Amino acid sequence: MFFQDSASPQMDSYMNDDNNYKKFCSYKISYQYPDFTNEENEFIEFDSYIVPESDLEDGQFRMLEVDNRVIIPELTHTRFVISAADVIHSYACPSLGIKADAYPGRLNQASVYVNRPGTFFGQCSYLLKISYYD
């Protein structure tokens, strides 16, 4: 898995050096699974946005639900490579034991081994302004 800032040339060259990870997220919350293709033999890509509070259904969590969820394989070592485009962010998924800062122009990484099925919520843990998720 790969958290990337697509505006960074260093990130593009880094991505092309290693084919053993699945790219899936950036600050824009764009996901890509380059190891898997659709019917047209294209990489699977999609955007994901936090569901507005007004659109939540019963049982959904405010500020955590997204319109398209990412699937992480169980019983597989997964590496997150994290960066940012504009300011410092911090990706956190407490139930997986991940919290890593994302700096513009820099790479950071975290590894997990998911040994149980479940729904794990992650988000930026630095809320820099009142309208951060608008």
pLDDT, one tens digit per residue, over 27-54 is 344 565 666 677 888 877 777 788 888 8
**Most distant CA atoms of the chain, gap in Å:** 44
pTM for the full predicted model: 0.61
Residue ranges of domains in the chain: 9-124
Select from 3.40.50.620, 3.40.50.300, 2.60.40.420, 3.10.590.10 the CATH code of 9-124. Answer: 2.60.40.420
CA 38 – CA 52 distance, rounded (Å): 29
pLDDT digits over 81-121, tens only? 788 878 888 888 889 999 999 888 898 888 899 999 988 88
Q: What's at 45, amino acid-wise?
A: E
CA 106 – CA 112 distance, rounded (Å): 20
CA 54 – CA 57 distance, rounded (Å): 9
